């Protein structure tokens, strides 16, 4: 298939990520075979969310954070003391989005001929995190009860010299 065929098939895909039926806005975790994520709400209470809702929360929260001059100052303002911690937290959330896409949507990336582009984006993301010391390789592995495959991908790329 030519690249033109791959590009044209992108436009044929649905644009939105609708909340799955019966998920009560993403908080009902009773749908079988669904990936759920935990979000800590404003009251520091963990809530379970469906992946599309969780990803929306991550991007909305991240955009508000980037737009907040007290978190990411512009001009001659000083950076807050918790700047490095804030960057690490944002990076970790984005890493989880990458992990979800690899886990749940890799076949779509292959079908759309996007695998090399997505792999390149992810390799740059990992290299950026390593360069600025915001990548914690423990996040690549997941917990003992929920291992992630991106740790194996990272290890393979390190061996091949794709990331350091």
CA atoms within 13 A on the CB side of 85: 3
What is the bridge-based pairing of β-strands 36-40 and 146-147? unpaired
By residue count, the chain amounts to 164
Contacts of 134 by beta carbon, 8 Å cutoff, 6+ apart? 84, 87, 88, 91
Whichever domain contains 72, its CATH number is 1.20.140.30
Domain region containing 97 = 3-160
pTM above 0.85, yes or no: no
Total number of domains in the chain: 1
CA distance 22 to 16: 17
| pLDDT of the residue at 14 | 34
Helix (H/G/I), strand (E/B), else coil: 99 = helix
The pLDDT tens digits along the chain (164 residues) read 344 443 333 333 333 433 333 334 444 444 445 667 888 888 999 999 988 999 999 999 999 999 999 999 988 889 999 999 999 999 999 998 998 888 888 889 999 999 999 999 999 999 999 899 998 877 877 666 555 667 777 777 778 777 77
| pLDDT of the residue at 131 | 92
């Amino acid at each position: 298939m030519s690249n033109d065929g791959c590009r044209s098939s992108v436009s044929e895909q649905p644009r939105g990520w609708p909340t799955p039926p019966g998920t009560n806005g993403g908080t009902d975790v009773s749908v079988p075979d669904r990936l759920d994520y935990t979000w800590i709400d404003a009251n520091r209470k963990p809530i379970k969310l469906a992946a599309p809702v969780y990803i929306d929360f991550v991007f909305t929260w991240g955009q508000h954070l980037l737009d907040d001059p007290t978190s990411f100052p512009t001009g001659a303002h000083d950076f807050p003391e918790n700047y490095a911690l804030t960057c690490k937290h944002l990076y970790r959330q984005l890493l989880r989005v990458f992990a979800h896409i690899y886990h749940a949507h890799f076949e779509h990336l292959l079908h759309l001929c996007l695998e090399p582009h997505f792999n390149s984006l992810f390799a740059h993301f990992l290299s950026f995190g390593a360069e600025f010391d915001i990548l914690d390789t423990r996040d690549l592995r997941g917990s003992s009860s929920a291992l992630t495959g991106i740790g194996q991908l990272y290890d393979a790329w390190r061996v091949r010299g794709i990331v350091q």
